[in-house]
Amino acid sequence: MRGKLIFRYGAMGSAKTAHLLMTAFNFEEKGKNIYLAKPSIDTRSGNKISSRVPGLEKECILIGESDKIYDKLFKVDVPIDNLLNNIRVLPTFGYSPSCNSTVILIDEAQFLTKTQVDELTELSDEMGYFIICYGLRTDANTHLFEGSKRLMEISDTIEEIKSMCSCGHKAIINARLNEDGSIMSDIKNQVEIGGNDKYVSLCRSCYTSSKGYKP
């Protein structure tokens, strides 16, 4: 049975993580096998996916930059290639996933590598897993992250989780803030882990016209 790879993206503050956790709850109620994961570069909340909504969090698997998705999620030493042949090996390790009952939810998917996203497509196409990735589309310089770029290129379905700029228009840009609250420009380091203390989501008009933005 063929699975599906979905990319749900949104700007900072669009409640992506809350959406992921509520989706996990709904799938669990339907008896699905749920696997939650996030890239280990996101050090907030340790090994948990944690929403800004108080009490809304869940433990997850941490994925390193060099990790193979399949090995990390299912903790077995089986090559990612030719998965259909290798599925017979799984019971030896005490786990036999049902293809049409397994759901993988990944937070902060923009930090995945291109190779890891391609591994997700194999899990979806060859093993029938239903996979939903949540993350940002672009960085503070308005450039695509590696993981987001590949997900935009290859996902079966792409959905936007919308958030609002302070002016009332749709926010699409994740602007990074200086210590004084002004918007940074010409940012050298693409990755800077943080929340509302370091970022503000803006529409394009506000971003381009208010580099002197003050919170």
Residue 99 has pLDDT above 60, yes or no: no
> Of 3.40.640.10, 3.40.50.300, 3.90.1150.10, 3.30.420.40, which CATH number belongs to 4-162?
3.40.50.300
- Highest average pLDDT, of 39-53, 60-74, 106-120, 189-203, comes from 106-120
Residue 53 has pLDDT above 90, yes or no: no
Residue 63 has pLDDT above 90, yes or no: yes
The pTM score is: 0.82
Q: 19 is written with which tokens?
A: 């959406």
Residue 103 has pLDDT above 90, yes or no: yes
Q: Which range, of 91-100, 103-112, 125-134, averages the lowest pLDDT?
A: 91-100
144 conformational bin, left if phi > 0, alpha if psi -120 to 50, beta if neither? beta
Confidence band for 107, pLDDT divided at 50, 70 and 90 = very high
108 is catalytic: yes
The residue-averaged pLDDT of 22-43 equals 92
At 65, give phi and psi (nearest 5°): -60, -30
The residue-averaged pLDDT of 164-170 equals 91
Indicate which residue of 57, 59, 65, 108 is catalytic: 108
pLDDT at position 184: 60
Question: pLDDT tens digits for 5-29?
Answer: 999 999 988 999 999 999 999 999 9
